[in-house]
Chain A
Amino acid sequence: NAGVTQTPKFRVLKTGQSMTLLCAQDMNHEYMYWYRQDPGMGLRLIHYSVGEGTTAKGEVPDGYNVSRLKKQNFLLGLESAAPSQTSVYFCATPGLPYGYTFGSGTRLTVV
């Protein structure tokens, strides 16, 4: 089934720990996006990619790094997690024929 898969679905980190969130899409699209969602603030763009080997900063990129080594995968990394990064993270790619298709999300808690 065509779609966007995110792993893991839940994670609890201690302050200062690192982790990588994986987004995989089988829709063969060039563009992929990482958003974070916090109560009352909607979805905010962290980083995005317009093709394999490319990445660019979004609205709230500080504290995150990304990589797009393969067209189907977009990785979001936290090098030193902070409580302010507690959030729900969504990956998305343009769907067919219109709009974005989102992954199911990763709920991250930093304690």
Chain B
Amino acid sequence: QQPVQSPQAVILREGEDAVINCSSSKALYSVHWYRQKHGEAPVFLMILLKGGEQKGHEKISASFNEKKQQSSLYLTASQLSYSGTYFCGTQGYGGATNKLIFGTGTLLAVQP
């Protein structure tokens, strides 16, 4: 079952903050976050692992609550370049497949 993302869409002015949530009904080993620009492929932002470890390559932060099977992505002081659709991808336990189940996405529009 796909994880549920909220909100579905958000409009911001430059400099404002946003939080995107991802909730799963299954126990999670890790959560990935991706951003997709219109007409392009998704691009990896960050991975959050069981135990609280975070690994990413952009100045965007996130949290992972293993007990609640939830993750949140924090976008602070948003820039125009943050616009796009954000997806969480969840990895459960069982089998060494690394397969991800993605949420339905959150459309973020940052306006000048």
Contact = CB atoms under 8 A, between A and B. Distances in A.
Given A90-B42, A98-B55, A102-B42, A58 B103 contact: no
Contacts, number: 62
A94 B41 contact: no
A43 B44 contact: no
B104 A48 contact: no
Contacts of B55: 97-98
Contact of A99 (B2, B47, B97): B47
Contacts of A105: 41
Contact of B99 (A58, A99, A101, A102): A58
Nearest 4 CB-CB pairings of A with B: A99-B44, A102-B41, A43-B102, A42-B104
Interface of B: 2, 5, 32, 34, 40-45, 47, 55-56, 87, 89, 96-105
Interface of A: 31, 33, 35, 40-45, 48, 50, 56, 58-59, 90, 94-95, 97-105
